[in-house]
Amino acid sequence: MKKLLLLTWLFLITFFSHAQPKYALVIHGGAGVMDRAKMSPAVQKEYTDVLNSALKVGDSVLRSGGTCLDAIEKTIMILENSPLFNAGKGAVLTNEGMAELDASIMEGAGLKAGAIAGVRDVKNPIRVARAVMEKSEHVMLSGTGASQFAKEKGYEIVDNSYFVTEPRLKSLQELQRKERETTQNDKHGTVGCCALDTYGNIAAGTSTGGMMNKRYGRIGDSPVIGAGTYANNATGAFSCTGHGEYYIRLGFARDISALIEYKSLTISQACQEEVKKLTRLGGTGGVIGIDKNGNIAMEFNTSGMFRGYITSDGKKEVAIFK
């Protein structure tokens, strides 16, 4: 009888853990100065519509048993293909009016990572970052070398004009006309995604055009593993957005992981702690994170961050302002 009970109990546990495999996904579309009063409801809706489509794609990949890397790649592609965000089409422009894209991805099971930096012709940088991780012996490729790698692996190449949109061109011209400090303006729109899949693995990815009016081949934090992106199954997966120079100096994403590993902070506590360090240093931005239990964090010190999450138990949120 005891044996029978035990068997039934085991069966139930196995059945339910398989019937309801847990997954979760969190995204950001950049942090920055966002004034509720200055963003019309129509514009807010344009943004939230794309964020919702991205969540929907990520959700369906995970629900059908796709890996966290599949979910991140597919989700970020939606955001890269939207002209609204500073990644892929609609990326901010360099001093010379070009798009130069950075992206990275990392998985938390084996600490494998891939990144590309300063590319001008790769349609979906996140895909090629993943290919660097899975199909090369390197972690980061840059510029023309990264483009050559993308071509050889069969990824879509486009003319730089594909990325350039009228609004970005206008804000570059405006910025240059006013000769403002480049780094304080128009910096939101980087995209990122962190996911927990039904196999219990987590990963993070980030894609960006960098900072408006950047020069001299400037590379930000987004393709730098440990700065803009980091993932470790033992701690969490993180994707950052904000003033990249500060994120590189703080080793931002890796430092959050260290806070969890060495100080046993929760994912939210660790992200809050790191954002405080950013504030003390004078930097602005935000971060999203997920851990292997599906806990989600979305922290920032700006007035807004495009963001959202979705979980296997039906929880969902999309938000813009603080």
Q: Shortest gap between Cβ of 111 and ligand ASP (angstroms)?
A: 22
Contacts (Cβ under 8 Å, ≥6 apart) of 137? none
Q: Shortest gap between Cβ of 242 and ligand ASP (angstroms)?
A: 5
Q: Which of 67, 75, 190, 206 is catalytic?
A: 190
Q: How many whole angstroms separate alpha carbon 71 and alpha carbon 74?
A: 5
Q: How many whole angstroms separate alpha carbon 105 and alpha carbon 128?
A: 10
Nearest to 68 by CA among 16, 103, 109: 109
Subset of 260-289 contacting ligand ASP (CB under 6 A) = none
Output 209 or 294, the one with its CB closest to ligand ASP: 209
How many helices (H) and strands (E) the chain has is answered by 9, 12
x-or-dash pattern for ligand ASP, window 61-100, by CB under 6 A? -------------------------x--------------
* Dihedral angle of Cα 274, 277, 283, 286, to the nearest 10 degrees: 20
Subset of 17-56 contacting ligand ASP (CB under 6 A) = 30
Question: Is residue 190 at the binding interface for ligand ASP, with CB under 6 A as the rule?
Answer: yes
Q: Shortest gap between Cβ of 202 and ligand ASP (angstroms)?
A: 21
Question: Is residue 185 at the binding interface for ligand ASP, with CB under 6 A as the rule?
Answer: no
Question: Is residue 108 at the binding interface for ligand ASP, with CB under 6 A as the rule?
Answer: no
Nearest to 213 by CA among 181, 245, 241, 167: 181
Known catalytic residue: 208? Answer: no
Question: Is residue 210 at the binding interface for ligand ASP, with CB under 6 A as the rule?
Answer: yes
Burial 43-77 (b: 16+ CB within 10 A, else e): eeeebbebbbebbebbbebbeeebbbbbbbbbbbb
x-or-dash pattern for ligand ASP, window 239-258, by CB under 6 A? --xx-x--------------
Q: 110 by DSSP, 3-state: which?
A: coil
- Residues annotated as catalytic are 190
Q: Which residues bind ligand ASP (CB under 6 A)?
A: 30, 86, 187-188, 190, 208, 210-211, 220-222, 228, 241-242, 244
